[in-house]
Structure 1
Amino acid sequence: MAIETPGYTVVYEEGEVEYRQYEAYLVAETVVVGDVAYKASGNEGFRRLFRYITGANTANQSIAMTSPVSRELTSEKIAMTAPVARRPAGAGEAVAFMLPAQYSLATAPQPSDERVKLREVPARLMAVVRYSGRWTDANYLEHKNMLLTALADTNTETLGESQSALYDAPYVPWFLRRNEVMIEVRDLPVQ
């Protein structure tokens, strides 16, 4: 069975950077507070969200897993999606799972854990660098710097903070993993 991922269209490529127009989607998100290393905060956030999609929600139902897990600085089980994303969130870090497209804010089971929130992510244009390897601070920062340098070189205006997207399960060999660093941009680079 294929794992659902956010819908997007690649609208432009330059060097290592893909510019993608993403469709709107719904996420379950949690913020891990404190000065925690990349791997530790991701693990804690992932565990909270995994409990939500495996039944810690008001409907006591499973929700299909999606991908990626998104990382940025309702007893209903939900399908797994990809990626997991992460983004910085004030003094903590937000970790999010995309919910399957069948759900809306009105129909998604509500989380039992008050630290897990549902949020709509609007359609947006993202600049993305894809890479493989381990989920480490150093690997993420290397590719984040590569992306930010490429955007600065083309005078591309960014909106907000970068985030990482992790598409594969922890048991996937590190050299086969699909990871991405991405940031919202106002427009495509001047061509």
Structure 2
Amino acid sequence: MATEEPPYTVTLTEGSFEIREYPSLIAAEVIVTGPRNEAVNAGFRLLAGYIFGGNTTRQSIAMTSPVTQTPKENEKIAMTAPVTQSGDELGWTVRFIMPKGYTLNTLPIPNDPKVKLVALEPTRVAVVKFSGLAKEPDIIEHTQQLKQFMLEKKLVAAGSETLARYDPPWTLWFLRRNELMIKCL
């Protein structure tokens, strides 16, 4: 059975690069600190606790894909998206998009106060797709490639890169599907 993914429209494809438009979505997110891999694991556990019944109604919520991780940025308004680099004192935002059909009013309230439910505005992102384990050197290289693609297309970045991991940890490394996304204007 396929895991639900958030809907989007592709407006441009060039090799492993895409420009996508996402509609408004609802997400469950946590902010965690530490190196990227430790942070995503800690964030995943907190979010999995929520969707596997760690909420006021003990309701299970279907798992979706991908799990995203963004370096937290220093913002002057309430946080609704991106995060920063490994080891940054601000931390990482780890996020699950909620399955379609849910609203902020119909989702059960998380038992853990670290888990926040947020409404995400419609957004346009530049994306680069790649396979493998998404190790730090790969992330840095693909982020640079994505920024170069954006420069060539005259797109302005509106936040940090977001790493999207689509597969469970038991997936063979060469079959893993990853993406880096940058919100753009």
Structure-1-length-normalised TM-score: 0.86
What's the CA shift string for 1:147-186, capped at 9, x where partnerless? 0122123331111111010000000011001100001111
- Taking the aligned partners of 1:4 and 1:87, their CA distance within structure 2 comes to 24
Question: Bigger shift: 36-45 or 150-159?
Answer: 150-159
**Which residue, out of 53, 67, 70, partners 1:69?**
67
**Which residue, out of 53, 57, 62, partners 1:55?**
53
Unaligned runs of 5+ in 2: 72-80
The share of aligned pairs that are identical, in percent, is 40
Could you say which structure has the higher strand fraction? Answer: 1
Cα distance, 1:90–1:109 mapped onto 2, change above 3 Å? farther
Mapped pair 1:13 → 2:22: no
Q: SS where residue 165 of structure 1 aligns?
A: strand
Number of residue pairs aligned between Structure 1 and Structure 2: 173
Mapped pair 1:95 → 2:94: yes
User: Once the 2 structures are TM-superposed, how far is the Cα of residue 6 of structure 1 from its aligned partner?
Assistant: 0.6
- Taking the aligned partners of 2:158 and 2:100, their CA distance within structure 1 comes to 25
- Taking the aligned partners of 1:158 and 1:86, their CA distance within structure 2 comes to 12
- The answer to whether the 8 Å contact 1:5/1:66 transfers is yes
- The answer to whether the 8 Å contact 2:16/2:130 transfers is no
Residue 189 of structure 1 is matched in structure 2 by: none
Cα distance, 1:111–1:58 mapped onto 2, change above 3 Å? same
- Taking the aligned partners of 1:119 and 1:104, their CA distance within structure 2 comes to 10
- Taking the aligned partners of 1:174 and 1:87, their CA distance within structure 2 comes to 25
Structure-2-length-normalised TM-score: 0.88
Q: SS where residue 11 of structure 1 aligns?
A: strand
Greater RCO structure (CA 8 Å; 6+ sep): 2
- Taking the aligned partners of 2:148 and 2:124, their CA distance within structure 1 comes to 18
- Taking the aligned partners of 1:13 and 1:87, their CA distance within structure 2 comes to 26
Residue 108 of structure 2 is matched in structure 1 by: 109
- The answer to whether the 8 Å contact 1:5/1:67 transfers is yes
Q: SS where residue 147 of structure 1 aligns?
A: helix
- Taking the aligned partners of 2:16 and 2:169, their CA distance within structure 1 comes to 25
Residue 31 of structure 1 is matched in structure 2 by: 31
- Quote the RMSD (CA, aligned, Å): 1.7
Residue 185 of structure 1 is matched in structure 2 by: 184
User: Once the 2 structures are TM-superposed, how far is the Cα of residue 144 of structure 1 from its aligned partner?
Assistant: 0.9
- The answer to whether the 8 Å contact 1:87/1:161 transfers is yes
What's the CA shift string for 1:17-72, capped at 9, x where partnerless? 20011121110000003xx2211111000010010111111110111000000111
Report the AA paired with residue 139 of structure 1. Answer: D
